[in-house]
Amino acid sequence: MNVIIRLSLYAAILVVVPVSKLHAQPQIRVACLGASITHGSLLENPARESFPAQLQMALGERYAVTNYGVPGATLLKRGDLPYHKTKEYQQALQRNPHLVIIDLGGNDSKLINRIYLHEYEADYREMIAAFKALPSNPRIILLLPVPSFVTDSTGIWDPVIVNRVIPRVRNVAFSERVEVLDMHSILMDKAGLFPDKIHPNLQGTTLMAEKLEAVIRQTRDVGFNLPARIKIEGKTVSYHGYECVEFTWKGRDCKVVKPKLANKGHRWIWRARFWGHEPQTEIALLELGFHVVYCDVAELLGNKEAVDTWNAFYDMLTRDGLHKKAVMEGMSRGAVYVYNWAAENPTHVACVYVDNPLLDLRWWPVRQSAAEEQVARVGPIDKVPQIVQGNYPMLHVCGDADEAVPIETNTLLFAEKVRALKGNIIVLIKPGFKHHPHSLPNPTPIVDFILASTGNNE
């Protein structure tokens, strides 16, 4: 496949993964807790169009999904309508569910409630503890609030959701070791799906239901623990709500981020450079059971030492259980590391995603000895024959106004050479965008490319 796509909207359809058994019970009880969006407010037929109702239809008779949405409810116990005090909360507990989905936080961003946001995490942990204490020992999934497009800062205001609510939800997911799904990113570029700027229409709730269905149906390897297998001695920190083990290996700073539940194939994405920058693709893959890994060889610009170091890192990760084919991710000059390694290891690559990539090193400033500089000047643009031997798909996301790494002398020239050798490349062009920002605010097109390239992550 050789495609150039000029993006006007960042939109794609989520891939639904195969059905798998979640529990041994004849029917799996699902409780959906939330406010007006869960309830289905403003929809023509909430009983059929709310995301819990659509989830029920998608999952089928083996699941029993109950909607416990309360319009206006807050997670905060001192909010203007605390969910803790509603009959729906008690009904959800009495239901003894096997799966709990919680979508609370939008109303907490209102001016009247945000003064108590310092109590949000404690209140959330209390709610989670109540469900964890049930005999059903439920699986718990927290949803990040959908975006708000209102301009009235006293109401449900997106800057508060993004900067004060979402980080707290992720903190709770990390401390309580429960799952978290990002409903904000998949809708942030879809203001047209919010007629009143707060509540999604049928198309919006469908996207929410599809994302939940994909996660619920996916086969997971519950017992897989990569850091334990590697016997890493390091520090565990939160990476957007996920456990990230930071450690030193062969003198290099390394990181391994664990999903809450590993996917069956033990798939993973390898960040080459600029750790933590525009992480939305990685977060979306973590939700689907991917691992995220990093080994810092930053100053080596993909030379022999860098490739040799990564070879040993790859051997360790795959020996201890990760899939034999890695998803490679490189932003800017991270593409040099990705492609130089891929050129030497064509059978170890599932796919490549690079973003405003540097591919021609001949004009790139480096401070090295003459011998080292000569090696460093050999970049991906010079290795296309080796790169296409892997027959793996490549995705380039580029701004056509990139002033730092011009698309004409990097991606477009590279793509021309790839096409000439029958390679598999897709170019997504962002009209009018410069070198920054990288990635897409809504990473769905990138995620869908990776899922398609990895067999829907099985």
Q: Answer yes or no: do 323 and 394 share one domain.
A: yes
Instruction: Look up the CATH number of the domain holding residue 62.
Output: 3.40.50.1110
Residue range 283-329, pLDDT digits in tens: 999 999 999 999 999 888 888 999 999 999 999 999 999 999 999 99
Query: Is residue 11's pLDDT more than 70?
Result: no
Which residues does 224 contact at the CB level (< 8 Å), separation at least 6? 262, 266, 321
Is 413 within the bounds of a domain?
A: yes
Q: Answer yes or no: do 211 and 238 share one domain.
A: no
Range 435-447 average pLDDT: 94
- The domain total for the chain is 2
Question: Residue 404, SS3?
Answer: coil
Q: Where are the beta strands (DSSP E) in 109-259?
A: 139-144, 179-182, 220-221, 235-239, 242-249, 252-257
Which pLDDT belongs to residue 9? 37
Residue range 225-263, pLDDT digits in tens: 999 898 888 999 999 999 999 999 999 999 999 999 999
Range 8-34 average pLDDT: 59
Residue range 345-384, pLDDT digits in tens: 999 999 999 999 999 987 666 544 444 444 446 789 999 9
Is 424 within the bounds of a domain?
A: yes
Which pLDDT belongs to residue 298? 85
Instruction: Look up the CATH number of the domain holding residue 319.
Output: 3.40.50.1820
Q: Answer yes or no: do 265 and 196 share one domain.
A: no
Q: Answer yes or no: do 367 and 233 share one domain.
A: yes
- Alpha helices in 151-201, H assignment, sequence order: 158-160, 166-176
> 355 - beta bridge partners?
331, 397
- Cα dihedral 349→353→357→358 (10° resolution): -10
Is 10 within the bounds of a domain?
A: no
Q: Are 410 and 381 in contact (CB under 8 A)?
A: yes
Of the candidates 425, 355, 426, which has an alpha carbon nearest to the alpha carbon of residue 390?
425
Q: How far apart are CA 428 and CA 400, in angstroms?
A: 10
For 394, list phi and psi in degrees, rounded to 5: -125, 135
Range 325-350 average pLDDT: 96
- Of the residues 164, 186, 217, the one at which a domain ends: 217
pTM score: 0.89
Q: Answer yes or no: do 197 and 274 share one domain.
A: no
Q: Which domain holds residue 130?
A: 19-217
Q: Answer yes or no: do 320 and 434 share one domain.
A: yes
Percentage of the chain surpassing pLDDT 90? 86
Q: Answer yes or no: do 259 and 145 share one domain.
A: no
- Of the residues 217, 247, 270, the one at which a domain ends: 217
Query: Is residue 14's pLDDT more than 80?
Result: no
Query: Is residue 18's pLDDT more than 50?
Result: no
Which pLDDT belongs to residue 26? 74
Query: Is residue 389's pLDDT more than 90?
Result: yes
Q: How far apart are CA 132 and CA 383, in angstroms?
A: 53
Which pLDDT belongs to residue 141? 98
Q: Answer yes or no: do 240 and 213 share one domain.
A: no
Residue range 114-172, pLDDT digits in tens: 999 999 999 999 999 999 999 999 999 999 999 999 999 999 999 999 999 999 999 99
Which pLDDT belongs to residue 456? 65
Cα of 264 vs its chain's centroid, Å? 17
Up-side HSE of residue 431: CA atoms within 13 Å toward CB? 6
Mean confidence (pLDDT) of the chain: 91
Of the pLDDT bands very low, low, confident and very high (cuts 50, 70, 90), residue 89 is very high
| Element spanning 91, H or E | helix 87-94
- Of the residues 217, 244, 272, the one at which a domain ends: 217
Query: Is residue 49's pLDDT more than 60?
Result: yes
Q: Answer yes or no: do 187 and 240 share one domain.
A: no
Which pLDDT belongs to residue 326? 98
Of the candidates 267, 326, 325, 270, which has an alpha carbon nearest to the alpha carbon of residue 297?
270
Range 2-26 average pLDDT: 45
Q: Answer yes or no: do 237 and 141 share one domain.
A: no
Which pLDDT belongs to residue 25? 52
Task: Tell me the one-letter amino acid at 189.
Answer: D
Of the pLDDT bands very low, low, confident and very high (cuts 50, 70, 90), residue 40 is very high
Q: Answer yes or no: do 431 and 364 share one domain.
A: yes
- Tokens 């590391």 belong to which residue? 337
Question: Residue 226, SS3?
Answer: helix
Of the pLDDT bands very low, low, confident and very high (cuts 50, 70, 90), residue 22 is very low
Q: Answer yes or no: do 233 and 329 share one domain.
A: yes
CA distances from 9 to 6, 47, 106, 430, 431 (A): 9, 30, 25, 9, 10
Is 85 within the bounds of a domain?
A: yes
Residue range 169-199, pLDDT digits in tens: 999 999 999 999 999 999 999 999 999 999 9
Query: Is residue 83's pLDDT more than 60?
Result: yes
